Chains A and B, each alone.
Chain A
Amino acid sequence: MQLPRLDTRELLAIYAGGVIGAVTRVGLLEALPYADGEWPWATFAANMAGAVLLGLLVTRLQERLPPSTYRRPLLGTGLCGAMTTFATLQLELFDMLEGGYAALAAGYAAATLCVGFACVHLATAAARRTRRVR
């Protein structure tokens, strides 16, 4: 295995996006705390918002806008990647199952995957309805 050639400015863009994404997500966690047996709205909202943003961004960058060097690393890999989380989602599911809230865990897992997929799908369709910029 070998890393591709690394571009320092690209790495800085990913880092900067990651800082903003992490602070945004933890800000949501602080604003919307949840107790055992409740729906984790903060993680859910961060994941859905990030899925919409990434669907819009990647579709526009790949299919609608002229090539750009730093938008995808900053906003896609950095911001959307860090604003959304997989590990926290899984730990929330694990805690629900351990606490005996199996129905909540099933509902939360199903809703996260279904609504998340729908977010990317609708965002992709919306981006494709916009005009191509040359």
Chain B
Amino acid sequence: MSAATWAALGLVGGAGALARFLLDALVSERGDSFPFGTLAVNLSGAVLLGLLAGIALDGGARTIVASGGLGSYTTFSTLMLESHRLGETGRPRLLWLNLVLSLAAGLIAVAIGHLIGAAL
């Protein structure tokens, strides 16, 4: 992989992290006890990644936008941390809901994105 691709995926990855922070802040501002912010970020990122896979983007562009950008935009560590804290604060049902909903809806999101991408 070229140095330019590494630099670009890093820069796009930083932007992905910022976009995640901003969308999470917007959604979480309502103050729900369920972590809707991370869910919104992860599902929107899953749709977009499915779409890129559907239009068969590959090579350097795929690495930069998909692995660099959408990989950084979506997050697994925060999903796990927020789920763990739901359990610790006595909300085991929300913990399970968060895990199951993220996984199932994430897969559906990728499939929808893939369908749209393949149709384009």
- Contact residues, A54-82 vs B (CB, 8 A): 54-55, 58, 73, 77-78, 80-82
- Contact residues, B10-66 vs A (CB, 8 A): 10-18, 20-22, 25-27, 29-30, 42, 45-46, 48-50, 53, 63, 66
Check B75–A86 contact: CB distance below 8 A.
yes
Most chain-B CB neighbours within 10 Å: which of A82, A86, A120? A86
> What total of chain A residues lie within 8 Å of the partner, measured CB to CB?
54
Most chain-B CB neighbours within 10 Å: which of A91, A97, A112? A91
> What total of chain B residues lie within 8 Å of the partner, measured CB to CB?
54
Check A91–B67 contact: CB distance below 8 A.
no
Q: How far is the CA of A89 from the CA of B99 in the complex (A)?
A: 14
Check B15–A15 contact: CB distance below 8 A.
yes
How many A-B residue pairs lie within 8 Å, measured between CB atoms? 187
- A residues contacting B by CB (< 8 A) are 1-4, 11, 14-23, 25-26, 29-30, 47, 50-51, 53-55, 58, 73, 77-78, 80-91, 93-95, 97, 109, 112-113, 116-117, 119-121, 124
Per CB-CB distance, the 4 closest pairs between chain A and chain B, nearest first, are A22-B13, A18-B17, A82-B72, A86-B74
17 A-B residue pairs with Cβ-Cβ distance under 8 Å, sorted by A, are A3-B22, A3-B29, A18-B13, A21-B13, A53-B77, A55-B81, A55-B84, A77-B21, A81-B21, A81-B78, A84-B75, A86-B42, A86-B46, A87-B49, A87-B66, A88-B74, A120-B83
